[in-house]
């Protein structure tokens, strides 16, 4: 009878142990599934936010380029420039469908954009793009249209309508394990108060996208704008920096 009681007790203990192990496994599976679903939801939210930002880029860019061209009185009279404008917009449509592009493609697009805007900035306009030998622009991926937005802001808010010397410079160099991209102009500088009131679409897209990537992505980005001080303490321009 004692052996029978001990045997029954052992069976009960084994049963309880199996039940505990089974519940533990089910709980672990449920936690893993919940985390996976949470990650999927976060990725979906990130994609929706980024898509929302991307959808704002294309009409914003097209409107600005066409508006500038019409204001300059060039669309109806110069077929060559109209053709180049059409090619630029078509390239923009292709690029805006992608979240990221190579830095080489982005730089080429920016050069073509500057060529379209150049007649409105002459005379006295100079542009240069310097890429460090330590950076392979074909291997670096950047959010599409980011560099174009920074260049457009430098032109519209810094150089357009300015008399005399107008300089625009793009610099690309290594910064540790990151790539630093800067856009510098010699305009009147960045006024944070007026920009916060105006809520410019371009900078809004950049800051929103950077915030989403930094919240959900494993690799972080940094974006900053600062004014350049002249030796006498006055503002000598503005530089925007993107660290990828």
User: What is the structure's pLDDT at 73?
Assistant: 54
Are the beta carbons of 91 and 109 closer than 8 angstroms?
Answer: yes
Chain-centroid distance of CA 132 in Å reads 21
pLDDT at 107: 94
In tens digits, the chain (244 residues) has pLDDT values of 777 767 677 777 777 888 888 888 888 888 888 788 777 767 666 665 666 556 555 555 665 666 555 555 554 455 566 666 667 777 766 676 677 889 999 999 899 888 888 888 888 899 999 999 999 999 999 888 889 889 988 998 888 888 889 999 999 999 988 999 999 999 888 876 665 544 556 787 788 888 877 877 777 889 999 999 888 888 889 999 999 9
H or E element, residue 205:
helix 201-216
Query: SS3 for 237?
Result: strand
Predicted local distance difference test score (pLDDT) of residue 99: 78
Instruction: Lay out the sheet containing 178-185: strands in order across.
Output: 125-131, 166-175, 178-185, 235-243, 222-229
Q: How far apart are CA 201 and CA 205, in angstroms?
A: 6
Which of 175, 162, 178 has the alpha carbon at shortest distance from 238? 162
User: Which pTM value belongs to this model?
Assistant: 0.66
Residue 197: the pLDDT is 46
Identify whether the C-beta of residue 155 lies closer than 8 Å to the C-beta of residue 113.
no
């Amino acid at each position: 009878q004692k052996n029978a009681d001990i045997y029954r007790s052992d069976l009960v203990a084994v049963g309880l142990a199996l039940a505990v192990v089974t519940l533990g496994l089910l709980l672990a599976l449920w936690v893993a599934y919940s985390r996976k679903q949470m990650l999927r939801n976060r990725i979906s939210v990130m994609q929706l936010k980024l898509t929302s930002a991307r959808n704002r880029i294309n009409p914003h860019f097209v409107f600005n380029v066409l508006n500038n061209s019409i204001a300059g009185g060039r669309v109806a009279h110069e077929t060559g420039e109209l053709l180049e404008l059409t090619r630029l917009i078509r390239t923009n449509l292709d690029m805006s469908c992608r979240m990221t592009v190579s830095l080489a493609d982005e730089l080429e697009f920016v050069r073509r954009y500057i060529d379209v805007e150049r007649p409105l900035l002459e005379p006295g306009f100079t542009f240069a793009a310097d890429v460090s030998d330590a950076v392979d622009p074909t291997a670096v991926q950047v959010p599409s249209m980011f560099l174009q937005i920074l260049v457009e802001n430098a032109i519209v808010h810094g150089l357009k309508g300015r008399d005399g010397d107008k300089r625009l410079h793009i610099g690309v160099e290594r910064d540790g394990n990151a790539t630093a991209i800067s856009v510098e102009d010699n305009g009147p500088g960045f006024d944070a108060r007026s920009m916060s009131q105006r809520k410019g679409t371009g900078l809004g897209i950049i800051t929103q996208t950077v915030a989403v990537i930094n919240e959900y992505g494993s690799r972080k980005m940094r974006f900053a704008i600062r004014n350049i001080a002249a030796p006498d303490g006055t503002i000598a321009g503005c530089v925007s920096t993107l660290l990828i």
